[in-house]
Structure 1
Amino acid sequence: MITKLIVRGMLVGLLAGLFAGVFAYTVGEPRVDRAIALEEAAAASAGTGAHSHEAAEPAHSHGEEAPVSRNGQRFGLFLALALYGLALGGLFALVYAGVRGRVGPRSEPLLAVSLAAAAFIAIVLIPFVKYPANPPAVGDPETINQRTVLYLVAVAIGILSVGAAAAAHRYVSSEEAWPRWLAGGAALLVPVTAAWILLPGIDEVPEGFPAGLLWDFRLASLGTQAVFWLGVGALFAFAARRRSPA
């Protein structure tokens, strides 16, 4: 039974990853192209401003062709999201199996949608508030390890906060719904707010980088994840309904 559930989750994740890939290709890739063009223009400008006594030296590699072409990168986008979907779809199925009948709605389709929404909030939305995605030409390569660690810390805080909210909502004994929702909201917001205040900020946007392009890219990145988790929740709910129509 659990094996079939994991296989179902992986297939659902694969399809959701491909849906997200279509969104990212349609909405996000034009922003990436613009950011790359800005990066190349800045590199060319820096190259023309070099001192004349360095003219005999080999030029920096900004003008060299990228190791992977843009078409190759676009193919890699779909491949990466498909693999991402396979992995997270399997994990989603395991979590779904663990909480089914114990936490959340009794209806299996509604549980699938609720769990996908919780996953989006925990591992996408909460980290995004503190550390949003950046396009090419934004970010110092020397701080990539620090930024990666901080982002993973934000993901861990998001998962723990959503878990605490679910536990608080479940264990508050009240016949009315609002005390449970209030307890769950507080359990979510208190650690998230504390982390937002205590974790160091990262602002490596170069001077003059178009603010509109930056936020368009970030919203496209957030939208890609939203499409993915919407697809996971909807497809898993559909599969659960087909398996158990009653």
Structure 2
Amino acid sequence: MMKTLLVRGMLAGLIAGVLATLFAYLFGEPSVNAAIGIEEAGTAAHSHTHEPATTGPGTAEPAEQPEEELVSRDVQSTIGLFTGVGLYGIAIGGLFSLAFAFVYGRLGRLRPQVTAALLTGGAFVVVFFVPFLKYPANPPAVGQPGTIGTRTELYFGFVALSLLVGILAAAFGRKLADKLGAWRGALLACAGYLVTMALAAWLMPIIDEVPATFPASTLWSFRTASIGTQLTLWITLGLLFGAFAKKALKKSEPVAA
């Protein structure tokens, strides 16, 4: 059964990745292209403000030529986007199926679709939305090249912390539900998670490298498209996997009997 759920979870993740790629291409790529145009315009303006250094009378050092792209922009926005989001969807789908197998039956006598829906909502908040609030995604031309390593470490560190606190909150919430009831236990667990993550967000470093001249509309469009892409992926994954899990568990009932 575990293998069946894993395969169906990866399949659901692949389909979700395809739909998320389509959403990102339609709604995210325009803001990415606009940000790239701003970055190229700023680079060109910066190069024109510096006169070439002379090495002798009537001679000048040639201007530095821009580096040639190893992968064209068209490939990045199509095949590259599909590959990245698709692999991400497959990985998330596999992990999601393992989490489903662990929690199914431990949240009460809930149907597979309901369990998958609750797990999807919790995973979206813990894995993406809360870390996004602290360290939101930025388009090209935003952020200093020298801090990319630090920014990446802080983001994934915050994701790992959010996941750990979320798992602990779910475990304590299950114990509290036995004593105080399901609703009270769930509310206390959610409150504990939110308070802990709010404190962690306050203590962790703030990164704000958005230039004052960067258009707010482009930044807003990019970030809303990022949220929409993740919503598309997670909602599709939850709905598809819930249906797949229902069929798999239904087929296994006669065997178990």
**Partner amino acid, structure 2, of 1:77:** L
Q: Which residue of 2 aligns with 1:126?
A: 130
Picking from 112, 115, 119, the partner of 1:111 is: 115
Aligned counterpart in structure 2 of residue 67 of structure 1, from 46, 70, 74: 70
Give, as a single letter, the amino acid of the residue that structure 1 aligns with 2:95: L
- Distance in 2, matches of 1:2 and 1:61, equals 55
Distance 1:214 1:60, change over 3 A: farther
Out of 159, 165, 168, which is 2:169 matched to? 165
Gaps of 5+ in 2: none
What's the C-alpha RMSD, in Å, of the aligned pairs? Answer: 1.9
**1:84 Cα deviation (Å)?**
0.9
Q: Equivalents in 2 of 1:61, 1:183: separation in Å?
A: 59
Greater Cα radius of gyration, structure 1 or 2: 2
Q: Give TM-score, length-normalised by structure 2.
A: 0.89
Aligned residues: 245
Matched, 1:236 2:251: no
Query: Deviation of residue 104 (structure 1)?
Result: 6.0
Per the TM alignment, residue 116 of structure 1 is displaced from its structure 2 partner at its CA by 1.3
Structure 1 residue matching 2:53: 3-state secondary structure = helix
Contact preservation (8 Å) 1:105, 1:111: no
CA deviations on 1:197-229 (whole Å, 9 max, x unpaired) are 000010111230011111210111111111111
Structure 1 residues 40-189: aligned runs within 5 Å: 40-53=40-53, 56-62=60-66, 64-74=67-77, 75-103=79-107, 106-172=110-176, 173-174=178-179, 176-189=181-194
CA contact (8 A) 1:121 1:158 kept: no
Aligned-partner residue type, residue 197 of structure 1:
W
Q: Distance in 1 between matches of 2:137 and 2:180?
A: 42
TM-score normalized by the length of structure 1:
0.93
Query: Which moves more between the two structures, 16-25 or 71-80?
Result: 71-80
- Offset of residue 178 of structure 1: 4.1
What letter is aligned with 1:119? Answer: A
Using the alignment, how far apart are the partners of 1:235 and 1:39 within structure 2? 40
- Work out whether residues 32 and 136 of structure 1, in 8 Å CA contact, stay in contact via their aligned partners in 2: yes
Q: Read off the aligned partner of 1:160 and give its amino acid letter.
A: L
Question: Is the aligned partner of 1:207 residue 2:212?
Answer: yes
Query: Partners in 2 of 1:11 and 1:38 — Cα distance?
Result: 38
Q: Does 1:191 align with 2:196?
A: yes
